Structure 1
Amino acid sequence: MGYGYQYNQYDSGTKYWTLYIPDSNKSLYENSSNAYGIDKFRTAVNTMKQKVIEITAAGGTAALSAIAAALAAAPATAGLSAILAILAALGVGITAGIL
């Protein structure tokens, strides 16, 4: 599996997240100390998904394959900055301001 997330929000308002990275996942309850990081991860995943849709719609299946290969080759511990660097090297226009 690639990068992704899933969450359940209970009646109490508590959110239980599962964050997916290549070859791993992490499940946790959202709280005040991790909410910011979870939101950044969620936003990054959504941005990557949107870029995939845009590249595919533009007929860029070769570019999409290159991006997928580069992300798959990245270690599961790669942070957001490493992922952004890979995307930037491949010409995907994602800026820190968006994330």
Structure 2
Amino acid sequence: MDNGVPREPVRAAGGAPTLLTQTPRGTFQVKRKVRDDWSVAGNTPIKWAVYFTEEGHRIAAGPVNNLTHGDITLEPHAAAAFYNSLDVGDPVQIVSAG
């Protein structure tokens, strides 16, 4: 961390590698942020959500050992750091870990 901003790789989970659930790759802009949100599909609370597509893909706190339906989940401390360091309009680059 550098002033609360992650500067090193963090543990994360992304979408399953299918056409309908893969996480989009590329450079996006933060669309909106919601500290305490709700997943209708998962019927579960979502913490520290940073949305980066119009379709609703987000970076948020969640399990990092399960594939998602296209979202990116981070450990809570990392999700909070991303949430607190990003503003609407900031660029977000999603790349594959290889």
TM range (shorter): under 0.3
Rg: which structure is higher? 1
Greater relative CO (CA pairs within 8 A, separation 6+):
2
Larger helix proportion of the pair: 1
> Could you state the TM-score of these two structures normalised by the residue count of structure 2?
0.26
Larger strand proportion of the pair: 2
> Could you state the TM-score of these two structures normalised by the residue count of structure 1?
0.26
